[in-house]
Structure 1
Amino acid sequence: MSAPTTTSGSAGSIAAEAPIALTARAPQVPAERLVAEMVPPPRFATVSFDNYIPDRNQPSQAEAVTVLRGFAERLSDGGAGAGKGGRRHWFRRAAKPAAPSGPRGVYLDGGYGVGKTHLLASLWHATPAPVERKAFGTFVELTNLVGALGFQQTVKTLSEHRLLCIDEFELDDPGDTVLVSTLLGKLVEAGVALAATSNTLPGKLGEGRFAAADFLREIQGLSAHFQPVRIDGEDYRHRGLPEAPAPHADEVVTRAAKRTPGASLDAFPALLEHLSQVHPSRYGAMCDGVQAVCLTGVGPVPDQSTALRLVVLADRLYDREVPVLASGVPFDQLFSEEMLNGGYRKKYFRAISRLTALARDARQLAEA
């Protein structure tokens, strides 16, 4: 731990910890922690269908709540994916008569900021099963779990669950397509209910990223597991709010970091370089105990690989409600026009939306 620093004030000397440096952190995360942490993040720890506020001008939002309530009720009755401990396996093929065919789960499709994660977490909370029998994680966290446990152990572990919720479902490469298609097929056979969110319809996954036509069978197989539920609307994070605060001066950011307990302070270019040396599955652990992130010299991200790593970090900070105070360029200038028009554009827009919300949360740190 860094040595204490001393600041002078009218009341005398005050001891304070030096800011944390994210660039000094490279945590090792055991596989057991990856499984244990497959629960809704702190931001969504207390959400419910009741405190989701549908936009009156977007009837699809209220309709989505109705669909998910019904799905949760079927889980409660031992239906849809009741798992090995339920009264019946809604997704298993019965000997006589044959189990009904059709989607095995629900898939929330909509733009960023319409409350999809809120609803997905609400479904997780509403599902009457012990915490260890239901899992919640992002698509990236799910693929990281396979990497940590191995495919067969992941299937064995998740097959004991009643519900698997996958947030931010995306297919970025052919390998993920085959991996996830096979994994979800195994879980469906085991009676696990599925729920997912994405900015892309299940039949369109992978478009703009790789030759999706070459993996059409796998993509169609994934699509068959879900009933798509469309959610329209504006980004609630910015609906009716003033524009995001402009970036601050380096001195303001540095001063705020030094006087804010638990704050980190890093130069943005150095942080981007550090992210390339830490596996994305560890970004959450890298933020453990951090109460605010302070960044100096924020500028355009140089390449797509770096941009995608930054997206993961932005998601982990948003999940943990960590405010971000920064100097340099505004967050809406992080990604180039080419990136914003490419296959990962929805990820980049989500990152901009979330970082902007966290910058708004950090405004009080600069004003203190």
Structure 2
Amino acid sequence: MKNMTAQHRVAWRSFPTGPVTAAYKRMVDAGEVRRDDAQVALAAKFDALHGSLTSLPPVPVPVRSDEPTEGSFKNSSPLLRLLARSLAHAQSSLRKKFHLWSFGPPPRGMYIHGPVGVGKSFLMDLFYASVSVPDDNSCCTNDSHKHINITKRRVHFHEFMLDVHHRIFVYKQEHPQGDAIPVIAQQLAQEAQLLCFDEFQVTDVADAMILKRLFSLLLDLNVVVVATSNRSPDALYEGGINRSLFLPFIEMLQHTFDIISMEDSSKDYRLENRADGQSYFWSNKKVHSDNNSKNNMQAQLEKIFGSTASGTEAEIIPVLFGRTVQVTRLNDRCAWFDFSELCYQPLGAADYISLCRRFPVIIMERVPQLDANHLNEARRFVTLIDACYESRTRLVLAAQVPLDELFVDFEAQVESSDGDEELIVNEKGGNSSSFATTMIRTKEGEYYEWSATGRIGVSLAQLSSANDLAFSFRRAASRLVEMGGNEWGRQ
């Protein structure tokens, strides 16, 4: 494992820099961002990865089922079988030598963890933008930074796991007894040889059980993975059900990725750009004399919403896996919900992503203060914020408390529950897959629901997702501030 810490007092280098540092320096010189030593150090590490991508081996092509192999000659004469073995050995040796001569080993991935707002995703996005396919005229330019001709994908980890679960679902429809993971890994590798994940976190048991196999196969297929997270690898899925089965993934992550810590960077740069006050409204419902404030807040929401198109009725928004979510108050650009409609119902990432794709503006009113008594609702709300943030959907909130009091800090005591349950995980399970529940079974044969943040009927203090939610609160509050800016949103 290469465990690194972004170092301070890093000066601009006098010799030519890589594309990530160059892009970062341009933004600093233009006054768009403030120079940060930890970010400069991280940019240099991205430059090194960028340079190593030039020798990235291609994705191995799977052997066709109709391609002749040694086994094809099992009923032939001994001489033919000997020739087939010799030919197969020679082909294998040539492929290995060609592979080593032409490419060398694939570069190590990067796992970057640290507090919210310190620039992890910002630097990853600069790196991602630097990896591009050259256009037809690029050979005639004097660009000092070499273009990398590989496929790529940048995705929020929630959305990636949603995609994986959907692929499993589709595969199992046609091959009920088949093994979907190798097939899906090959599909993903063919589609993108560079995968960049934002907000890597594991809170769902269905995700935890497939990550080790999936990532091992992706690495074998020469896929380079970069991930940002608020959690160190050791803290992933901490205290989760049957966590012992997840530990091999953590071990693999530590041995095959460069682990980069930005824990020493405590500055949340999102908070420097305060919200403009047009996306977050609040009025204390206990203060009966504040009717004018409530009426004014409602008027501002109506103004943001605009007019309802004549004849507009409830709309059914399609979601993956054949599911749907209903919107009763909407127009062509905006949907209006009560908090209970989206967060008290068993919804997940797939539902929120579908809503964000359909509407550039979402209004939610009657948002309560969120604490340890609203864990399931808070988890769904944080997932909604992440979906809006990733899609640049404007989220307008009408709450009962000010923004800095919306999330109440808490710490849950996490205790492992290894061995207490037998997992029943199928292709329809898991929060990331947006099905409401994954069902688990106790040794006594009783079934319980693994809900958005825990299992009904079991103390939430036993569940890792309680403390994961405390991490998520800080990220969500930071993102809401950024999302309140004047220029936030999409047309």
If the length of structure 2 is used for normalisation, what is the TM-score? 0.54
Q: Secondary structure at the match of 1:288?
A: helix
Once the two structures are TM-superposed, the CA of residue 114 in structure 1 deviates from its matched residue by 1.3
Q: Secondary structure at the match of 2:270?
A: coil
Match of residue 107 from structure 1: 111
Q: Which of 313, 316, 323 is matched with 2:387 structurally?
A: 316
Q: Secondary structure at the match of 1:188?
A: helix
Go from structure 1 to structure 2 and tell me whether the alpha carbon gap of 1:215 and 1:272 turns closer, same or farther (over 3 Å shift): closer
Once the two structures are TM-superposed, the CA of residue 165 in structure 1 deviates from its matched residue by 0.8
Go from structure 1 to structure 2 and tell me whether the alpha carbon gap of 1:307 and 1:225 turns closer, same or farther (over 3 Å shift): farther
Cα distance in structure 2, aligned partners of 1:60 and 1:359: 26
Q: Secondary structure at the match of 2:117?
A: coil
Q: Secondary structure at the match of 1:343?
A: helix
Cα distance in structure 2, aligned partners of 1:298 and 1:286: 18
Q: Which of 252, 277, 282 is matched with 1:247 structurally?
A: 282
Once the two structures are TM-superposed, the CA of residue 362 in structure 1 deviates from its matched residue by 9.8
Go from structure 1 to structure 2 and tell me whether the alpha carbon gap of 1:242 and 1:304 turns closer, same or farther (over 3 Å shift): closer
Match of residue 122 from structure 2: 118
If the length of structure 1 is used for normalisation, what is the TM-score? 0.70
Go from structure 1 to structure 2 and tell me whether the alpha carbon gap of 1:169 and 1:257 turns closer, same or farther (over 3 Å shift): same
Once the two structures are TM-superposed, the CA of residue 157 in structure 1 deviates from its matched residue by 1.6
C-alpha contact 1:136 1:165 (8 A) present in aligned 2 = yes
Once the two structures are TM-superposed, the CA of residue 194 in structure 1 deviates from its matched residue by 0.8
Cα distance in structure 2, aligned partners of 1:108 and 1:246: 34
Match of residue 183 from structure 1: 214
Once the two structures are TM-superposed, the CA of residue 177 in structure 1 deviates from its matched residue by 2.6
Go from structure 1 to structure 2 and tell me whether the alpha carbon gap of 1:258 and 1:325 turns closer, same or farther (over 3 Å shift): same
Deviations 1:270-294 (A, max 9, x none): 33234x2x44123122023534333
Match of residue 258 from structure 2: 227
Q: Which of 326, 349, 357 is matched with 1:288 structurally?
A: 357
Cα distance in structure 1, aligned partners of 2:271 and 2:374: 27
Cα distance in structure 1, aligned partners of 2:27 and 2:133: 21
C-alpha contact 2:106 2:222 (8 A) present in aligned 1 = no
Cα distance in structure 1, aligned partners of 2:361 and 2:163: 27
Q: Which of 331, 353, 366 is matched with 2:478 structurally?
A: 353
Q: Which of 464, 467, 473 is matched with 1:343 structurally?
A: 467
Once the two structures are TM-superposed, the CA of residue 357 in structure 1 deviates from its matched residue by 3.0
Correspondence 1:134 to 2:152: yes
Once the two structures are TM-superposed, the CA of residue 163 in structure 1 deviates from its matched residue by 0.2
Go from structure 1 to structure 2 and tell me whether the alpha carbon gap of 1:291 and 1:259 turns closer, same or farther (over 3 Å shift): farther
Deviations 1:111-146 (A, max 9, x none): 111121222222222113499921111221121111
Cα distance in structure 1, aligned partners of 2:486 and 2:273: 16
Once the two structures are TM-superposed, the CA of residue 193 in structure 1 deviates from its matched residue by 0.7
Q: How does 1:1-368 map to 2 (within 5 A)?
A: 49=24, 50-51=26-27, 55-56=34-35, 58-75=36-53, 77-79=54-56, 83=59, 94=96, 104-129=108-133, 133-150=151-168, 151-160=181-190, 161-210=192-241, 212-213=243-244, 215-231=246-262, 232-239=265-272, 241=274, 247-248=282-283, 249-260=293-304, 261=306, 262-274=333-345, 276=346, 278-301=347-370, 302-319=373-390, 320-338=392-410, 342-344=466-468, 345-359=470-484, 361=486
C-alpha contact 1:324 1:362 (8 A) present in aligned 2 = no
C-alpha contact 2:117 2:269 (8 A) present in aligned 1 = yes
Cα distance in structure 2, aligned partners of 1:305 and 1:132: 40
Which amino acid counterpart does residue 282 of structure 1 have in structure 2?
A: D
Cα distance in structure 2, aligned partners of 1:136 and 1:214: 28
Once the two structures are TM-superposed, the CA of residue 190 in structure 1 deviates from its matched residue by 0.5
Once the two structures are TM-superposed, the CA of residue 168 in structure 1 deviates from its matched residue by 0.7
C-alpha contact 1:325 1:362 (8 A) present in aligned 2 = no
Cα distance in structure 1, aligned partners of 2:164 and 2:273: 41
What's the RMSD between the two structures over aligned residues? 3.6
Q: Give the share of equivalent positions with the same residue, in percent.
A: 24
Match of residue 420 from structure 2: none
Match of residue 23 from structure 1: none
Cα distance in structure 1, aligned partners of 2:358 and 2:163: 23
352-361 or 138-147: bigger deviation: 352-361
